[in-house]
Structure 1
Amino acid sequence: MTSIDEFSVKEITVSRQSPGEERQAALCQIYAQVLERQPYGFERKQLAKSEAEFLRNKIGVKRFLRELGHSEVYLNEFYYNSSNPKFIELCFKHFIGRAPGGQTEMRHYCDILMRHGVKAMITALLDSEDYLRHFGCFTVPHAWSEESYPSPKTFLETDILLHELHGRRGWIVPTMTWHDLRLNCDGGSCGLPAAQTSGPTSATTPGLEALHQVLSTMGPQDLEKFASTLSAADRDKLRHLLMQPAH
């Protein structure tokens, strides 16, 4: 597997003293990181005011990131068609440069999203200690590599997430979920693995505990979306699995 280091980019820092060409380069890098592409022409019109203020040194990197994350450009691309867990995972990738650190962190931001809305959740990420420690107020977010991640699992899932092509596995099941459950979700349609579903099922089935943990973070609408990505046969297998207690 390719290491995270190979996905790291040259760190770009923009201050009040930065010349115009540096701010323009930073703008392109922000779009590459957050949108995973450069904006289309009609999207640029929606972002024109924020862009102009950023290029004229009226707002900094963090303020521009917040306005981009709150914009219809970002929400149309990543939020409206996604489940909450998938969207939160993508926000971590875009604004923090890593995968969520586990179900506790995922639940924390799911709670903010459900109680206070999508803009409050993005603001909370940008105000987080992790964001401040790695990027401060002036550095463009990027994938990073260091000796200490929240867990070895976070390191592995970050590496997988950074290599995931935009939309490759659909908009419902987070990368951390399909990896935990050993699901094959290429193309957005998931299939439960044979080793998990064939023969008698017990509480020791590989991935069963992860399945319960993951589904506990999903609301009714997200659960319906998740079920819709499975075949009828796999939905029956899923119901059977959920009848088993997790340890």
Structure 2
Amino acid sequence: MTSTDEFAVREITVDRQSPAAERQAALVQIYAQVLERQPYAFERKQLAEIEADFLRKKSGVKRFLRDLGHSEVYLNEFYYNSSNPKFIELCFKHFIGRAPSNPVEMRRYCDILMRNGVKAMITALLDSEDYRRHFGCFTVPHAWAEDSYPSPRTFWETEVLLHELHGRRGWTLPTMTWHNLHLDCEGGICHLPESHLPESYLPERTPASGQPAATNLGLDALHQVLSTMEPQDLEKFAATLSGAERDKLRHLLLPTP
């Protein structure tokens, strides 16, 4: 089984005593972690003020992260084209170095995002106990491995998210959702192949009519996953499925008359 250690980078910590070369190295690493690339030239102009404050020791790592997360550069890249759950998952990857641990954690930050806005949600992540424990005020966020995971699924979701290239699985479904739904979202388009579904999720054929009949096994979990999504996000998710794939979900979720 692969380990999150393979993603580890040299830990970079800078404070007011750090020389300019170390601050410049930290800046490069922050962009790689948070933007998943270095800024384009036109983006550098938008970030010029906060970048200068960081390099001149007027702000620290955590303050720069907050300013970068609140910037239009970050929001244009990750927020405006994403569903709320997918954006939150990406923020966990960028600022905490792991995937959300469970639906409860996802719902908590979804609530902050919807009630208080995107900047408040990013600030809450940076003020979280998880961030404080792993990075403090001076260390650049990076991927890290826990000593133990609550479940194989939690480990798997973090591994997949850390391997994931920007936009590779689209902008709507977070990893925990397409995994729970047994979807294949490679390339940004979700598919519902029957070969990937457990038997308990497949529609049964009734001898009399030959029509699919909904099964009760496993449907509670499926309903629970879908219930965590906002209506607009469900619409975006449905738009990624073909008519045949929507029919499969409909047969699973709707009772047979």
Q: Which residue of 2 aligns with 1:60?
A: 60
Question: Which residue identity is paired with 1:107?
Answer: R
Max Rg structure? 2
In structure 2, stretches of 5+ residues that fail to align are 205-212
Separation in 2 of the partners of 1:137 and 1:95?
A: 12
- C-alpha contact (below 8 Å) 1:169/1:189 kept by paired residues: yes
**What whole-Å deviation, never above 9, does each CA across 1:188-237 have from its counterpart, x for those lacking one?**
211113134443431214xx444322222211111100100000111122
Separation in 1 of the partners of 2:120 and 2:150?
A: 23
Aligned residues: 242
RMSD after superposition: 1.4
Question: Does structure 1 residue 155 correspond to structure 2 residue 155?
Answer: yes
The TM-score, its normalising length taken from structure 2, stands at 0.90
The TM-score, its normalising length taken from structure 1, stands at 0.93
**What whole-Å deviation, never above 9, does each CA across 1:51-82 have from its counterpart, x for those lacking one?**
00000000000000001000110111011110
- C-alpha contact (below 8 Å) 1:103/1:213 kept by paired residues: no
Separation in 2 of the partners of 1:150 and 1:46?
A: 41
**What whole-Å deviation, never above 9, does each CA across 1:101-123 have from its counterpart, x for those lacking one?**
10000000010111111111000
Question: Does structure 1 residue 130 correspond to structure 2 residue 142?
Answer: no
- C-alpha contact (below 8 Å) 2:172/2:233 kept by paired residues: yes
Q: Which range moves more in the overlay, 38-47 or 214-223?
A: 214-223
- C-alpha contact (below 8 Å) 1:161/1:175 kept by paired residues: yes
Separation in 1 of the partners of 2:38 and 2:253?
A: 42
**What whole-Å deviation, never above 9, does each CA across 1:15-57 have from its counterpart, x for those lacking one?**
1100000000000000000000000000110000000000000
Separation in 1 of the partners of 2:239 and 2:187?
A: 13
- C-alpha contact (below 8 Å) 1:110/1:217 kept by paired residues: no
- C-alpha contact (below 8 Å) 2:203/2:215 kept by paired residues: no
Q: Which residue of 2 aligns with 1:9?
A: 9
Separation in 2 of the partners of 1:96 and 1:3?
A: 17
Question: Which residue identity is paired with 1:240?
Answer: H
- C-alpha contact (below 8 Å) 1:31/1:39 kept by paired residues: yes
SS class of match (2:14): coil
Q: Which residue of 2 aligns with 1:108?
A: 108
Q: Which residue of 1 aligns with 2:49?
A: 49
Separation in 2 of the partners of 1:90 and 1:63?
A: 19
Deviation, 1:151, is 4.3
Separation in 1 of the partners of 2:179 and 2:137?
A: 33
SS class of match (1:47): helix
